[in-house]
């Protein structure tokens, strides 16, 4: 009876510690890296530097947590890195589009002035 309780306690402790560490978040970390690379390609350093920096910071914390075998913590940081990188990409694309629209409007104004002068 005593060994049954001991075995049951051992199983419980093992289950709890397994839940605390989880599985290696390989996919989440890879996804974060991809989205950070995409954000960099979208010129986030120019238009969304803070969000990109935060994504990279969370990616670093995820790697640190992996090194310590704190896989659930690593997963959360990797997911945060992905979210921040996506936000950086969206903001960079938005700002880039605004800039292009402004330039296009300036060109249209110049064309209109040229047409008006020629009339």
Q: What is the pLDDT of residues 73-100, one digit of tens each?
A: 999 999 999 999 999 999 999 999 999 9
Work out the pLDDT band at 116, boundaries 50, 70, 90: confident
Specify if 109 maps to a domain: no
Residue 3 in this model has a pLDDT that exceeds 90: no
Apex 64 CA angle, 86 and 44, nearest 5: 25
- Total domains in the fold of the chain: 1
Residue 9 in this model has a pLDDT that exceeds 70: no
State how far the alpha carbon of 63 is from the alpha carbons of 33, 37, 56, 60, 69, in Å: 11, 16, 11, 5, 10
Residue 72 in this model has a pLDDT that exceeds 60: yes
Residue 48 in this model has a pLDDT that exceeds 60: yes
Specify if 78 maps to a domain: yes
pLDDT at 6: 44
Specify if 118 maps to a domain: no
User: Which domain range does residue 60 map to?
Assistant: 18-92
Specify if 47 maps to a domain: yes
Specify if 30 maps to a domain: yes
């Amino acid at each position: 009876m005593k060994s049954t309780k001991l075995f049951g306690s051992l199983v419980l402790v093992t289950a709890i510690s397994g839940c605390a560490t989880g599985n290696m978040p390989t996919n989440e970390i890879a996804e974060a890296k991809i989205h950070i690379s995409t954000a960099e390609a979208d010129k986030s350093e120019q238009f969304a530097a803070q969000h990109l920096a935060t994504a990279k910071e969370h990616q670093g914390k995820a790697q640190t947590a992996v090194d310590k075998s704190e896989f659930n913590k690593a997963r959360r940081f990797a997911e945060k890195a992905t979210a921040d990188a996506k936000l950086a990409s969206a903001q960079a694309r938005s700002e880039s589009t605004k800039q292009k629209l402004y330039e296009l409007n300036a060109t249209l104004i110049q064309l209109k002035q040229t047409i008006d002068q020629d009339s």
